[in-house]
């Protein structure tokens, strides 16, 4: 009796082992599918990241490409080239280049004689000044003198800082008077990468790493250099060493994607650790193996239960025969039903997988669509506080140079307040993107106007705009959000300054209020060119603008209109009968508050 009971058991467990050996090779195609899927996902993510970085890098360079040709026509600079010994002309040119550098954000701007000597420079008052230095050995100077636009990346021999150089000849007819050079600082492009597993790599035409998210890779050669390339490096001195050490990368450990920039001859690469693909692949294989193990355990359990069942019915032969007939009939029905159920389960699993895949594609498409709009909106909303922060930071540096530490500390405090305001702006942009509904609060109108003007005080002084205020002494309280109201006022005033920049003096802005039955009407008027008929009809449309792409994205008025409607107010556009634009903010009256924050000093 012992042998008949143990033999089937051994046979059944042996069948399970054989079945496991037959099913185990199925894990290999599972691994291949997972490898292909996760590699594709990572490649697509890296491609999008690479596109964004390349667009930012090219945008930074193209901002300054035409600047040398434009500055070369300035009379003060041409006067220096014609009379290099005129001390007054040199002083005027130095200060002019210094102002232009501060306005454009370039690293250094300098004027060179045909011999290569630097006559005037924006850093004339600094220890590492370029004045009287000769850069005739630089390729950008030779290309500019030859009549072409000079382009060159290199390490400054005086400052020791990396930069991209644009140069253009200053001509008087067919005669070369000299060359004007603009150096662009590219250090900030590395900081945009952030702390991610993927690594950035930008190599020049020599294959030398010039920009990277890994500082230990910088100025290493990604490939062997030939004799001509080594000779060019020795002549042009673009790197801190004439023999860049080789960049030793384990190719098998990285997944690499490249993008060639035709304008500069650079290659931008993104390197993702292969572990980003290997980890999810191993997880998928582990899940598949676990599922296979569970299936085998279930089969073993079913086989064990069947064996006990057969042993029990074997006690009575007659009963066993009758029961076997019934079991056979029922087993056939169950097998048929089980087959149908398996088929339905497979069909439902396939449908569920298709649904999940479609949902993932829709979510990804939604993310890509929202990325452009959100990036443009945040950039537009933060431009004004960033400009004010830069102004206060520059002033703080001057104050520290003069020993006015208390005044410098005041500027730093203002910078801290502006960063808090930027964080508030971002919080409101996120809430607006989620369609949040914030309850309106009572806000004092005059302090909000003063704060908005304080962000633009430097630009108002530059343009010499006369501000005419017709506001009551007592605070007017309106229903609004404090930060959102300042956003609207800041955008509208910035647009007014843009319009006034196109006309000669006098430049004026009128700010007045009018009490209505429902609340307060705030009128903003300028004596600029006003709105065209097309602009009046399409002012609320996103991305509609009459400015160039470098001056604006066309989001300001659209955002202001959306914020006003969210606050329960209204924004109206019109032209004043006496000329210029007239914008009216209709706000609901609010309950008077107890404490108001003092307005920022506009005279600073």
Q: What's the pLDDT band for 542 if we cut at 50, 70, 90?
A: low
Specify the pLDDT at position 12.
Answer: 60
Q: Work out the burial of residue 121: count CB atoms within 10 Å of its CB; fewer than 13 is exposed, 13-18 middle, 19 or more buried.
A: buried
259 contacts 267 by C-beta, under 8 angstroms: yes
Q: CA triplet 153, 159, 165: central angle to 5 degrees?
A: 25
How do the residues of the chain divide into helix, strand and coil, expressed in percent and rounded to 5?
A: 55, 20, 25
Query: For residues 463-482, b (16+ Cβ closer than 10 Å) or e, as one string?
Result: eebeeeeeeeeebbbbbbbb
Give, rounded to a whole angstrom, the gap between the first and last alpha carbons of the chain. 106
Q: Is the pLDDT confidence value at 13 over 50?
A: yes
Q: For residue 256, which of 39, 38, 32, 34 has the smallest C-alpha distance?
A: 39
Q: What is the mean pLDDT of residues 564-582?
A: 86
Mean pLDDT of all residues in the chain?
A: 81
* pLDDT tens track for 312-343: 887 777 888 888 888 888 888 888 888 888 88
Distances (CA, A) of 499 to 381, 528, 529: 19, 5, 7
Closest CA to 525 of 512, 516, 535, 538: 512
Residue (of 50, 56, 163) closest to 379 by Cα position: 56
Pairing mode of beta strands 150-155, 199-203: unpaired
Helices (H), 150-273: 187-191, 227-236
Domains contained in the chain, CATH given: 66-185 (3.30.450.20), 188-273 (3.30.450.20), 350-436 (1.10.287), 439-589 (3.30.565.10)
DSSP state of 66: T
Mean pLDDT of 193-217: 85
Quote the CA–CA distance of 526 and 466 in Å, as a whole number: 10
Rounded CA-CA distance 357/174 in Å is: 65
C-beta of residue 481 within 8 angstroms of C-beta of residue 440: yes
What would the mean pLDDT of 470-494 be, rounded to a whole number?
Answer: 85
Task: Compute CA 378 distance to the chain's CA centroid, rounded to the nearest angstrom.
Answer: 10
pLDDT at 176: 87
The two beta strands, 465-470 and 507-515, are parallel
Per-residue pLDDT of 16-27, as tens digits, reads 677 777 777 877
DSSP 406-469: HHHHHHHHHHHHHHHHHHHHHHHHHHHHTT--PPPEEEEHHHHHHHHHHHTHHHHHHHTEEEEE
- Counting every residue, how long is the chain? 604
Q: What is the pLDDT of residue 436?
A: 41
């Amino acid at each position: 009796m012992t042998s008949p009971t143990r033999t089937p058991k051994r046979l059944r467990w042996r069948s399970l082992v054989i079945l496991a050996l037959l099913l185990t090779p199925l894990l290999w195609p599972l691994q291949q599918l997972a490898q292909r899927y996760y590699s594709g996902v990572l490649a697509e993510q890296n491609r999008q990241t690479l596109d964004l970085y390349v667009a930012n890098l090219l945008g930074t360079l193209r901002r300054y490409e035409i600047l040398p040709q434009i500055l070369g026509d300035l009379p003060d600079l041409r006067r220096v080239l014609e009379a290099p010994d005129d001390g007054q002309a040199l002083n005027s040119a130095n200060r002019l280049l210094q102002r232009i550098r501060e306005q454009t954000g370039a690293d250094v701007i300098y004027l060179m004689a045909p011999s290569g000597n630097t006559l005037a420079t924006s850093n004339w008052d600094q220890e590492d000044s370029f004045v009287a230095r000769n850069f005739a050995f630089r390729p950008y100077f030779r290309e500019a003198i030859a009549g072409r636009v000079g382009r060159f990346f290199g390490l400054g021999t005086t400052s020791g800082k990396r930069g991209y150089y644009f140069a253009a000849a200053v001509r008087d007819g067919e005669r070369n008077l000299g060359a004007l050079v603009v150096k662009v600082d590219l250090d900030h492009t590395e900081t945009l990468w952030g702390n991610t597993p993927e690594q950035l790599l930008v190599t020049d035409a020599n294959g030398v790493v010039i920009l990277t998210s890994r500082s230990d890779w910088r100025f290493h050669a990604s490939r062997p250099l030939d004799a001509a390339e080594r000779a060019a490096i020795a002549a042009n001195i673009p790197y801190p060493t004439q023999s860049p050490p080789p960049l030793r990368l384990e190719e098998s450990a990285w997944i690499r994607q490249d993008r060639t920039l035709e304008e500069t001859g650079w290659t931008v690469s993104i390197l993702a650790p292969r572990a980003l693909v290997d980890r999810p692949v191993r997880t998928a294989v582990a899940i598949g193996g676990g599922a296979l193990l569970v299936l085998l355990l279930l089969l073993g359990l079913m086989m064990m239960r069947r064996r006990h069942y057969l042993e029990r019915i074997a006690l009575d032969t007659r009963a066993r025969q009758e029961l076997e007939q019934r079991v056979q009939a029922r087993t056939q029905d169950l097998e048929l039903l089980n087959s149908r159920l398996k088929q339905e389960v497979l069909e439902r699993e396939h449908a569920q997988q298709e649904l999940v895949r479609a949902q993932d594609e829709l979510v990804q498409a939604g993310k890509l669509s929202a990325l452009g709009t959100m990036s443009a909106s945040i950039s537009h909303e933060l431009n004004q506080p960033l400009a004010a922060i830069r102004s206060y930071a520059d002033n703080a540096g001057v104050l520290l140079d003069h020993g006015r530490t208390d005044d410098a500390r005041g500027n730093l405090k203002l910078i801290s307040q502006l960063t808090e305001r930027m964080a508030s702006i971002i919080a409101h942009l996120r809430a607006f993107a989620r369609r949040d509904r914030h309850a309106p609060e009572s806000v004092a109108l005059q302090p909000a106007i003063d704060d908005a003007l304080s962000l633009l005080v430097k630009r108002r002084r530059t343009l010499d705009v006369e501000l005419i205020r017709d506001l009551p002494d007592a605070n007017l309280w309106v229903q609004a959000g404090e930060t959102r109201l300042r956003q609207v006022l800041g955008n509208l005033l910035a647009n007014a300054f843009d319009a006034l920049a196109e006309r000669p003096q006098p430049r004026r802005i009128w700010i007045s209020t009018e009490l209505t039955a429902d609340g307060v009407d705030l009128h903003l008027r300028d004596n600029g060119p006003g709105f065209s008929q097309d602009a009046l009809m399409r002012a609320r449309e996103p991305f509609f603008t009459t400015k160039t792409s470098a001056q604006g994205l066309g989001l300001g008025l659209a955002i202001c209109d959306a914020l006003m409607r969210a606050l329960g107010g209204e924004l109206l556009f019109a032209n004043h009968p006496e000329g210029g634009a007239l914008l009216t903010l209709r706000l609901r009256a609010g309950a008077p508050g107890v404490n108001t924050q003092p307005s920022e000093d506009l005279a600073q």
